[in-house]
Structure 1
Amino acid sequence: MTPTISDTENRSDDRLHGHQVLEHRSSEATTLEHVDEDHHTREATICVVGLGYVGLPLAVGFAQSDYQVIGYDVDESTVEQLKDGEDTTGDLTDEAVQNDDISYTTNASAISDAEYVVIAVPTPIQDDDRPDLSYVESAGQTVGSKMSAGTTVVLESTVYPGSTREVLIPALEETAGMTAGEDFFVGYSPERATPGDEEHGLSDVVKVVSGQTEAVLDDVAELYGSVVDAGVHRAPSIEVAEASKVVENTQRDLNIAFVNELSVALEHMNVDTQEVLEAAGTKWNFHDYQPGLVGGHCIPVDPYFLSYRSAQEGFEPELMQMGRKVNESMPAHVADLTIKALNTCHKTLRDSRVLVLGLSYKPGVGDLRSSKVSNVIDTLNEYDIHLEGFDPIANHEAARETFNLDVQEQLSFEGFDAIVLATPHDEFTEMDLEAIGSELADDPALVDVAGAIDEDEAADAGFTYRRV
């Protein structure tokens, strides 16, 4: 069981101001890096605000490096699960969240105990594709109302350039009654979490850091450098650090959009996309990107932050917007491939039964949020096709509610006319197609979105095979 946090008062009598704080932090940072034989001492307390897929691994990472960590979240259910020792992300382990150096709480007053506050709250996109920074503003107001003078606040949420200064700092100052840069300090360090990727965790990826002054940058760099083995990159300004995050994923979005559009074009030419990419990939400087659905919380979201801010300054970035349009069209294309495959197999659409394998947004994770599989399902539903789904990792009840779909508890292929392999979890790529084919209806179809199944093997098993 993890310890709880008792109610604490703001330590207003202990607050430091101005250059005193910088001198205090400078000596404190030296203490943080002090090595006593093989044991690193960590005297600072860090509060992580927001215990989701970014915040929780961050809290665990600091705790594993011997910091005292406060994990704060407004969601009582999440905090109760963490107190009970349950990993709420599925990316860590129950043992990791049971670290005695982490105190989970919904009590905002605990923020006053921290010398560093790291904000890792969601920054979604609204229905009109505008960034929603209300969570950042709300978190800033909460932190400002509780933090002590001398606190350094670091934002990790994805934002557009200028957000830290224009949204977070005013929110902090509003409720703190203090001035940033004098009474407290602010930095920005974009998260680079990759759910389901054990080789690229917090300590394995270079951390971009920034601060409102050189002294704050030094402090933030030293803090993150103590937990990130790969080291830190010091951005020359907060705005550069903010932009670097959205540029990373916008670049990927555009490259995927190219191969997605290429796959549709080559299909019209009756040329195999995978064979083309394999041939082109023999050139030393060819970049390896694969077509498919673009879901998740970063790649299909971050370009909107950049284009929104650019448009505010009078420039419409057409290429970024076109890349988004191409990738958003792919679920309809996958549905179209499925319908054509059923027609090739002489199936009547309204009498057809289709099993969708993999509902989460990427292989190896159970996160259903921002999964583009839902868009494929919505399109196929327009043709009155009977659909069922199965995901070996995602929560079945959550999948039913998210997709409004019959979700199997135990995988069964009995009587289905087609399989759509939407998210290729390892469990699916190792399937015995010969055995599965015997359970399906006659002349079955297999739509392999990511090209995870060998086409010849599928054909030998009696499938009409299609891939993006």
Structure 2
Amino acid sequence: MTTTLSDTKNRADERHSEYAFQSDSEEHADEQSGQTATICVVGLGYVGLPLAVGFAQSDYRVIGYDVDESTVDRLQSGVDTTGDLSDEAVQNDDISYTTDASQIGDADYVIIAVPTPIDEDDRPDLNYVESAATTVGSKMKPGTTVILESTVYPGTTREVLVPALEDASDLTAGEGFFVGYSPERATPGDEEHGLADVVKVVGAQDEKVLEDVAALYESVVDAGVHRAPSIEVAEASKVVENTQRDLNIAFVNELSMALERMDVDTQAVLEAAGTKWNFHDYRPGLVGGHCIPVDPYFLAHRSAREGFEPELVRTSRTVNESVPDHVAELTIKALNNCHKTLRDSRVLVLGLSYKSGVGDIRSSKVADVVERLAEYDIDIAGFDPFADDETVEDAFELDVQERLSFEGFDAVVVATPHAEFEQLDLEAVASELAEDPALVDVTGTFDEDAACEAGFVYRRL
């Protein structure tokens, strides 16, 4: 299929006329008639790169822009830098990877997909958005539609993005350029929920821009597009999605801590409660990554600006941030139950990334578990089949095994439940470990009875 401007840009041409563009803008619109639309994706991380590939696979001409030269060099060499696509997927003749910002001026649509982290005080850090907007504004041509995909609090597009674009471009939003917002819904490591498979939410500055942006995404998203009534609704929907998950996970995490003190099996309780038709199935665990531990702070920040403190949101964050301490405590208790001296103990941590099936260690809460255990002078090593060993060693400050070996360790902590660990023979593992070993199985990868029969002191959330 070839997506032409007659399908997705004609609505923009109508807007050009409505907003009385200058003559050069009108000429540009006429020149583009019947040609393939060009899309520039700014930021080629785990959100931006799949977008670039998805649009290119739908026969758009795509410019992939990033400021990181090493990322662009690897992409130009045909290497998938996310691990979620494939080398073949990024080797698409319709994508031009570049660090040359001037190429942004060739685009009809610019999609900004840059990181939006929080700072040390848990406040939203929008520096990447502002910087990207300044770069885009200085290079984009009149008539461009700019779509923000980064996670932000409600109001950011109008309050931060638009002013930065206007200042850099000397154009006016709604006249010289157009603005939309579409929150990313990428799920790293999940092949069933890629760009085409998840409904896309879009919002825009007015109805005509909304229809234009919706048509653009409908051409690549098979699951369809939900048109939000405003940009602010679209912005809020993203932070609410992950805040809801944070709240629910916090509940089961707190529940696991309470039931552990009652000597009641949390997993068994959840299985029993789950027999009711309207029970929601959430499981306790470490809450890391770039979304769930971050997005609630965006919502809380914006709410606090309006004089309302969302106490439940903040409390949930506090609960989930305490889980690494709890996992470390379970490990220490297990070692004590095995009659181990902590400063003489060796612990092997399996799984160091923030979620199963991916190698990304940024925002991984396993690092916090390692840090807590290290406070007791415990000798700690790690293994992860996906994460880069050198990166892990630098970030976690521990030895990382290239090949998995259990020899001489007193305890194993299964922190991130990669599917590869499910195949481990517990009896064989126990035979390699020191006498009377412990197994701290954070999310319950293994059956407790089987672990105990293999000779482990077993603990889990």
Flag whether TM exceeds 0.5 (same fold). Answer: yes
Q: Give the % identical residues.
A: 76
Give the secondary-structure state (helix, strand or coil) at the position aligned to 2:19. Answer: helix
Q: In angstroms, what is the RMSD of aligned CA positions? A: 1.8
Deviation at 1:28, TM superposition (A): 11
1:72 to 54, 65, 68: 65
Match in the other structure for 1:380:
373
Q: Counterpart of 1:305?
A: 298
Supply the distance in 1 between the matched residues of 2:288 and 2:58 (Cα, whole angstroms).
Answer: 33
Alignment of 1:50-449 (within 5 A): 50-449=43-442
Mapped partners of 1:24, 1:190: distance in 2 = 32
- What per-residue deviation string (whole Å, max 9, x for no partner) do you get for residues 166-187 of structure 1? 0000000001000000010000
Task: Answer yes or no: is the 8 Å Cα contact 1:354–1:416 preserved in 2.
Answer: yes
Q: Tell me if 1:19 matches 2:19.
A: yes
* Equivalent residues of 2:148, 2:181 under 8 A apart: yes
Contact kept? 1:253, 1:299, Cα under 8 Å: yes
Q: Is the 8 A contact 2:107 2:140 kept in 1?
A: yes
CA apart distance, 1:457 = 1.1
What per-residue deviation string (whole Å, max 9, x for no partner) do you get for residues 328-364 of structure 1? Answer: 0000000000000000000000000000000000000
Q: CA deviation at 1:17?
A: 7.2
Is the contact between residue 255 and residue 289 of structure 1 (CA under 8 Å) also seen in structure 2?
Answer: yes
Deviating runs (4+, > 6 A) in structure 1? 21-31
Residues 49, 71 of structure 1: 8 Å contact kept: yes
Distance 1:30 1:149 in 2: 15
Q: Give the whole-Å Cα distance in 1 for the aligned partners of 2:32 and 2:139.
A: 23
Please tell me whether the aligned partners of residues 26 and 219 of structure 1 are also in contact (alpha carbons under 8 angstroms): no
- Look up the equivalent residue of 1:55 and give its one-letter code: G
Secondary structure of the equivalent of 2:93? coil
Distance 1:29 1:300 in 2: 43
The whole-number CA distance in structure 1 between the counterparts of 2:33 and 2:287 is: 44
Question: Which residue number corresponds to residue 42 of structure 2?
Answer: 49
d(CA) in 2 for partners of 1:28 and 1:162?
Answer: 35
**2:146 partner letter:** V
Q: Distance in 2 between matches of 1:443 and 1:74?
A: 52
1:19 is matched by which residue type in structure 2?
A: Y
> Which ranges in structure 1 are unaligned for 5 or more consecutive residues?
1-15, 32-41
Residues 1:222 and 1:214: Cα distance change in structure 2 (over 3 Å): same
Q: What CA distance in whole angstroms lies between the structure 1 residues aligned with 2:120 and 2:164?
A: 24
- Contact 2:47 / 2:113 at 8 angstroms: preserved in 1? yes
1:321 alignment partner AA: R
**SS state at 2:72 partner:** helix
- CA 1:17–1:382: 2 relative to 1, 3 Å: farther
1:23 Cα deviation from its structure 2 partner: 9.4
Contact conserved, 1:399 with 1:407, CA < 8 A, in 2?
yes
Task: Figure out how many residues of one structure are paired with residues of the other and give that number.
Answer: 444
Deviation at 1:456, TM superposition (A): 1.1
Distance 1:257 1:25, change over 3 A: farther
Q: Work out the CA distance in 2 between the residues paired with 1:189 and 1:23.
A: 27
Q: Match of 2:118, as an amino acid? A: I
Please tell me whether the aligned partners of residues 131 and 304 of structure 1 are also in contact (alpha carbons under 8 angstroms). yes
In structure 2, the residue matched to 1:467 is 460
CA distances 1:370-396 after superposition (whole Å, capped 9, x unpaired): 000000000000000000000001100
- The offset of 1:452, in angstroms, is 1.0
User: Are the equivalent residues in 2 in contact too, given 1:17–1:183 (CA < 8 A)?
Assistant: no
Q: How much does 1:460 deviate?
A: 1.2
Instruction: Tell me by how many angstroms 1:19 deviates.
Output: 3.2
Q: Any conservation in 2 of the 1:352–1:417 contact (CA below 8 Å)?
A: yes
- Tell whether the 8 Å contact from 2:130 to 2:161 is kept in structure 1 after alignment: yes
Partner of 2:12: none
SS at match of 2:421: helix
Q: For structure 2, which runs of at least 5 residues remain unmatched after alignment?
A: 1-15
For 1:27 and 1:426, the matched residues in 2 are separated by 54
Following superposition, the deviation at residue 429 of structure 1 comes to 1.3
Q: Which whole-Å CA distance do the structure 1 matches of 2:274 and 2:33 have between them? A: 49
Alpha-carbon separation, structure 1, partners of 2:27 and 2:155: 28
Instruction: Tell me the distance in 1 between the aligned counterparts of 2:400 and 2:28.
Output: 54
| Cα distance, 1:263 vs structure 2 | 0.3
Distance 1:87 1:253 in 2: 30
Contact 1:17 1:150 in 2 (8 A): no
Corresponding letter in the other structure for 2:308: F
1:309 is displaced (CA, Å) by: 0.3
1:114 to 1:125, Cα distance in 2 relative to 1, 3 A: same
Change in 2 beyond 3 A, CA 1:30/1:260: farther
What amino acid is the match of 2:447? D
How far residue 327 of structure 1 moved from its aligned partner, in angstroms, is 0.1
1:458 is the counterpart of 2:455: no
